[in-house]
Amino acid sequence: MDIKPVLNELKTEILALIKERFKKENALITSEITLFITSSKEKIERWSILLLQGEITKAEFEILLQSQKDLLRMHSLHKAGISAIQLGHFKNAVLKLIFNKITLFIGV
Partner 1 sequence: MKVHYYILIGIIFLLNSCASYQDHFTLTETITTKVMTENLLQKANTPFSENEATVNELQQQLQKMQIYENTKKKNTIMKSMWQLLNKEESSLQQFIKTWKMQETMSPAFISEYALQINTMLDLMIDYESKKEKKTESALLQFLNP
Site string for partner 1, 72-91 (x = CB under 8 A): -xxx-xx-xxx-xx--xx-x
The radius of gyration of the chain's CA atoms, rounded to the nearest angstrom, is 24
Q: Note whether 96 and 38 are within 8 A (CB).
A: no
The H-or-E segment that residue 68 falls in is: helix 58-106
By CB under 8 A, tell whether 92 contacts partner 1: yes
Minimum separation from the CB atom of position 78 to partner 1 (A): 4
Residue number with CB closer to partner 1 (30 or 92) = 92
By CB under 8 A, tell whether 102 contacts partner 1: yes
Q: Note whether 93 and 17 are within 8 A (CB).
A: yes
- The Cα–Cα gap between 95 and 105 comes to 15
By CB under 8 A, tell whether 57 contacts partner 1: yes
Options 13-21, 22-30, 56-64: segment touching partner 1 (CB under 8 A):
56-64
